[in-house]
Amino acid sequence: MSRQQREHLNAAYRSRPRPVTPPTAEEQRAGFAAALTRPALEDVAVRRTALGGRPALELAPAGTAGPGRLLYLHGGGYLVGSPDTHAGLAGELARRAGLHAVSLDYRLAPEHVFPAAVDDGLAAYRELLATGTDPRTLVLAGDSAGGALALATLLAARAAGLPQPAAVVLFSPWVDLALRGGSLRTKADADRIFTEADLRAYAAHYLGAADPENPLASPLYADLTGLPPLLIQVGANELVLDDAVRLAARAGAADVDVTLEIGGNLPHVFQHHYGRLEEADAALDRAAAFLTAHLGAAVTAVTAVTA
């Protein structure tokens, strides 16, 4: 990232005022949507649908064919965000990987506390399998809280006896709602997006009375044995940097194939700035290559069987 690009991002983040009176959930959602929505590119067809009893967006990049499928779970601290706000990011990953994608509109807190989001993720995953998606041709991705939800969905699927997908990509996953990572302090001045108080407020809204160390709320504390290959990408300027680092260590200890990438001097979910930051485009290219590499042999095998 060039100095000019870095200064532009920092100025944009600093310019967002913090109100004296905390905004309502609806006000936060409207503000988030107004500030951060990026629509899908013109060559990605978007269609509203439903999955697992919840609304969803189908994202179909032009020229995409074959059985490969991506389930995307958006970020937003379980409080804000939607498939619409993340259509650009999910669509861009799908476009680069050559996959059809579906982005789930899971229920948000505080109206729907934990485990509502996990229940929705599992219902969506279960329906994909039940309607003919071979798990060997299915991949998951998510950012921030959506990254944690992708893991929680697979942990719930494992508990339900369902097969795992081919691979998972996580952008800046927020996997420790107990907030014990050292980067909450060491990156406090570097993170221009969040404060520790922000994260504590998001966690409180989502958890309700639940234990923050519940593995489905905080996958960092889960037994990760048997999960598919993981790619974790995180920026060095993040309060949740240590979430990604500790998650990679625990995954490796559980004999999970895991790749951790830390982007120097980059913010939370920097991939959202594709087309503006070279590092974002490069990271999305690597994420797409990771998914297609793990899908390749499986898609070939499934296609051969069904031909």
CA 167/CA 228 separation, integer angstroms = 5
Strand residues in 194-245 grouped as ranges (E): 230-235
Are 275 and 217 in contact, with CB atoms under 8 Å apart?
Answer: no
| Annotated catalytic residue, options 74, 86, 268, 273 | 268
Query: What's the half-sphere exposure (Cβ side, CA atoms, 13 Å) at 92?
Result: 22
CA 114/CA 162 separation, integer angstroms = 21
Q: Could you give the strand order of the β-sheet that contains 69-73, starting from the edge strand earlier in sequence?
A: 44-51, 54-61, 100-104, 69-73, 138-143, 167-171, 230-235, 258-263
CA 26/CA 3 separation, integer angstroms = 35
**Cα Rg of the chain (Å, integer):** 18
| Annotated catalytic residue, options 238, 272, 279, 294 | 238
| Annotated catalytic residue, options 82, 144, 172, 218 | 144
Q: Respond yes or no: is residue 268 known to be catalytic.
A: yes
- Tokens found for residue 90: 């999910």
Nearest to 168 by CA among 219, 116, 203: 219
Nearest to 71 by CA among 103, 108, 117, 118: 103
- Torsion sign over Cα 233, 93, 98, 146: positive
Looking at the annotation, which residues are catalytic?
144, 238, 268
